[in-house]
Amino acid sequence: KKRIGMLTSGGDSPGMNAAVRAVVRVAISRGCDVYAIYEGYEGLVNGGDMIKKFGWADVRGYLAIGGTLIGSARCKAFREREGRLNSAYNMVKNGIDALIVCGGDGSLTGADVLRSEWPGLLDELIKEGRITAEEAAPYKHLTVVGLVGSIDNDMSSTDITIGAVSSLHRICEAVDSISATALSHSRAFVIEVMGRNCGWLALMAAVSTGADFVFIPERPPASDDWESEMCEILKKHRKLGKRKTIVIVAEGAIDKNLKPIKADYIKELLSNRMKLDTRVTTLGHTQRGGKPCSFDRNLATLQGVEAVHAVLRATSDTPSPMIGVRQNKITCEPLMKAVELTRQVAEAISRKDFRRAMELRDPEFSE
Ligand code: ADP
């Protein structure tokens, strides 16, 4: 019988609650004990009442609620070995021998670091006299499983992350609202959207709303004078009778020399060169999505089920898996490989190898 700890960590994303719900209920139905660990790794480091055994009814109503009800945090202490030592102590004291973490690449890296230090952390606790060898004996093997909760859809080895579609939906609604006023006043809007160094939200929002122009980190404008080229395209759209101009800028947008392209700069271009009445809108935290859409509820539920199955399948020498989805099939791949590929994307962009960045995100990428 496994005793599974579940936590959500890093930036919150819609669907994390559905993942917690699925893990709790499948774990219970498979005869496991399941513990909610509050405030991400903070709960693991601090223990006490931040780790709570959950029953079936504790996750009632979770499906429809945005964010994460068991809380999330950025936890400095967990980045230090001392913090992870306390985490190991709290796991043994609560009888937890498996961990399911729902978060972004940072959180999943942290989970794998913990596992890589296992069972050394237990030996250290025994040496310090905090636990006895008998107490530690049943916890020799730590099972770690990752679920990717992120609105950015920036993780390699999976087609989509929990929360990205809800976030995209919210962005589209916001752009639609802005479009209505832009149309009324014949205005231009430059809209900055989230995504860190991933352009997925910006690109998909641009396609879904019929934006006039989009800037994403993975495909900087090729021309030396992209400013003039953009203005020409926007002018052409106006000549065709369009009364509004919408430019979407990913927060990580860059030019081909890796210099950030900022919404205010685009605004100056549209105002000064095109004489358009231009406003900048930064959508901010509304983009974190709120209520999860049905896709994220389903995705998180199916992946939560698979996460528990992965815990039950795990042996001492299987690498920690990450639950993903590819071509509509739930997948289970080595977590560190996915984290490493994700890291390499940023590296490829910093080398200006934008094609490689796309291939690392998606092995089937083609122009
Ligand atoms: P995300 O999971 O959304 O990428 P962060 O990168 O902020 O968010 O990571 C969330 C938390 O995961 C951090 O606050 C920290 O506690 C833990 N973490 C991240 N990277 C590491 C690491 N290399 N080693 C240990 N813990 C880490």
285 is in an annotated binding site: yes
Cβ neighbours of 60 (radius 10 Å): 10
- Buried b / exposed e over 174-203, threshold 16 CB at 10 Å, is bbeebbeebeeeebbbbbbbbbbbbbbbbb
Decide: 110 in ligand 1 pocket, CB within 6 A: yes
C-alpha 33/C-alpha 40 separation (Å) is 19
- 350-362 CB burial, b ≥16 within 10 A, e <16: eeeebebbbbbbe
Q: Check if 87 has its Cβ closer than 6 Å to any atom of ligand 1.
A: no
Structure tokens at 335: 């977590």
Does 50 appear as a known binding residue? no
pLDDT, tens digit (0-9, with 9 covering 90-100), for 303-343: 999 999 999 999 888 889 999 999 999 999 999 999 999 99
Atom of ligand 1 nearest to the CA of 149: 3
CA-to-CA distance for 247 and 221, rounded, in angstroms? 14
Q: Has residue 227 got a pLDDT over 80?
A: yes
Q: Whose Cα sits closest to atom 16 in ligand 1? A: 75
What angle do helix axes 226-239 and 263-272 make, rounded to 10 degrees? Answer: 60
pLDDT digits (tens, 9 = 90+) for 23-44: 999 999 999 999 999 999 999 9
Residues identified as active-site: 152
Going from the Cα of 108 to the center of ligand 1, the distance in angstroms, rounded, reads: 7
Give the single-character DSSP code of 293: P
Which atom of ligand 1 approaches the CA of 74 most closely?
A: 14
Ligand 1: centre distance to CA 321 (Å): 17
User: Does 72 sit in the ligand 1 pocket, CB within 6 Å?
Assistant: no
Residue nearest to atom 19 of ligand 1 (CA): 106
**pLDDT value, residue 1:** 87
On whether the CB atoms of residues 216 and 254 are closer than 8 A, the answer is no
Which residues face 147 on adjacent strands? 102, 323
ipTM beyond cut 0.85: yes
Among 107, 113, 335, residue to substitute to test ligand 1 (most atoms within 8 Å of Cβ): 107
pLDDT in tens, 137-180: 999 999 999 999 999 999 999 999 999 999 999 999 999 999 99
Q: Is 107 in the pocket of ligand 1 (CB under 6 A)?
A: yes
* Residue from 39, 79, 154, 167 to probe ligand 1 pocket by mutation (most atoms less than 8 Å from CB): 79
Nearest to 305 by CA among 30, 104, 1, 63: 30
Angle at 253 (CA atoms; ends 252, 254), nearest 5 degrees: 115
Q: Is 330 exposed, middle or buried (0-12, 13-18, 19+ CB in 10 A)?
A: middle
Q: Whole-prediction pTM value?
A: 0.95
Assigned token pair, 228: 């003039």
